[in-house]
Amino acid sequence: MKGISHFISGVAAASCFPWTVAAALDRNPTYFIIGAVYGILPDTIDFKFYRFFYRYHQTITPDPRNPDPQVIANEIAHAIETAAEQKGLYRLKINTLRRSADQWQQFKIRLDATEQAVEVEMGPVVTTGQVPIPGTFPEAGTSKGWKKTAVPIEENYEAVTTVDIFDGPAYGFEMDEQGRVAVHFLPWHRTWTHSLVLGAVFSVPVGLWLGWRAGLVAYTAYAVHILEDQLGYMGSSLFAPFSNKRVKGLELMHAGDALPNFGTVWFCCMLIFWNCYRAIPDPIYHFGFVRLMLYGLVVPLGLYGLLYRMLNRKTTLPEIIDTANEWGEGNKL
């Protein structure tokens, strides 16, 4: 999910504890702040810190003078085949191709498990705002590179990766028990930072500093973030450091899907409102939880979903991962 969804989910999780609302009424928002911070903490560590210290076995930097898609496809296929020959995770980084201060060469990468091949397609030159520049679209028949791999591929994330501005994508290739090379998109993401075990460890300092109630709020918000991520495709290393394997997600949504993110934010707002309402000694207007959720959540979301479907009656395309916006800053993680 996007960053705002995790942020508000942490606040909502904190509001479920009676001492959080009681402290807020006493002009102490500490528990709400802890919930917000720990709700976004796993992705903050990944995208703002850990990614910059991650090391790769191979880096692909396209030639800015002659960006040949076939060369890129060959190198990616070589990385996959190298991973089949060694033990452990083979880490590959693909850099973006900057043309000028405000121009970037766009290209797309597709790892085709069915055809057992890598396909790279060059696109237009785009601005930093990702707007295509007229006259820069490649000529037909010259924009694609295709390379069959010597080993089968297992694609774990249903997506076409678009590479254009700022930072490029990263892959982890690893041989599995069936003799296939499993593809892990963003191998530095949702690993040890998205562990239910280490989440408890990260909550201990807050508990020692501000008491066990603060520690419990911190862990709950952290765990909610991880469980929300399990609704998607990528999954998380839920039990690190005991097991570093990513537990596959439920594949119910993509991180940037509009309706699930909007619905999560709306539900959290309703939940925060309800938990604060319950603390009012003698409210002017009385209503129950079911009634609130029916009129405040189900009906508005139903109308929103209906309107959304009416305005988007188009053929569903494979999701495009925009690597410039992986952290919920306008993307789709």
- Rounded Cα distance between 226 and 195, Å, is 7
Residue 76's alpha-carbon distances to 69, 92, 146, 180, in angstroms, are: 11, 8, 10, 16
Number of domains present in the structure of the chain = 2
- Asked if residue 320 and residue 238 are part of one domain, the reply reads yes
Residue 173 predicted with pLDDT over 50 = yes
- Mean of pLDDT values over 54-60: 97
Residues 198 and 236 in one domain: yes
pTM of the prediction? 0.86
**Average pLDDT, stretch 158-163?**
83
What is d(CA 174, CA 306) in angstroms, rounded to the nearest whole number? 42
- Give residue 158's pLDDT: 64
* Residue that finishes a domain, picked among 185, 203, 233: 185
Strands 90-94 and 58-60: parallel
313-331 pLDDT per residue, tens: 754 444 444 554 444 443 3
Q: What is the pLDDT of residue 330?
A: 38
**What pLDDT was estimated at residue 314?**
59
Are residues 208 and 316 both part of a single domain? yes
DSSP character for 237? -
Please indicate, yes or no, if residue 148 is contained in any of the structural domains: yes
Integer CA distances (angstroms), 101 to 63, 104, 164, in order: 17, 8, 13
pLDDT digits (tens, 9 = 90+) for 80-137: 999 999 888 999 999 999 999 999 999 999 999 999 999 999 999 999 999 999 999 9
Task: Please check whether residues 129 and 36 belong to one and the same domain.
Answer: no
- Look at 9-18, 118-127, 188-197, 258-267 and tell me which has the smallest mean pLDDT: 258-267
* 118 and 80 Cβ atoms separated by less than 8 Å: yes
- Note whether 82 and 170 are same-domain residues: yes
How far, in Å, CA of 147 to CA of 129, rounded?
31
Higher pLDDT, 258 or 120: 120
What's the CA gap between 291 and 269, in Å, rounded?
Answer: 15
Q: Is residue 331 part of a domain?
A: no
Q: What does the DSSP 8-state code read for residue 298?
A: I
User: What range does the domain containing 290 cover?
Assistant: 3-50+193-325
Residue 332: inside a domain: no
Residue range 129-152: average pLDDT? 90
Same structural domain, 143 and 206: no
32-36, 235-239, 312-316: range with lowest mean pLDDT: 312-316
Average pLDDT over residues 63-90: 93
159 confidence band (pLDDT: 50, 70, 90): low
- Does residue 162 lie within any of the structural domains? yes
Same domain, 125 and 213: no
- Name every residue whose Cβ is closer than 8 Å to that of residue 220 and which is 6 or more positions away in sequence: 13, 14, 16, 17, 35
65 plus 162 within the same structural domain: yes
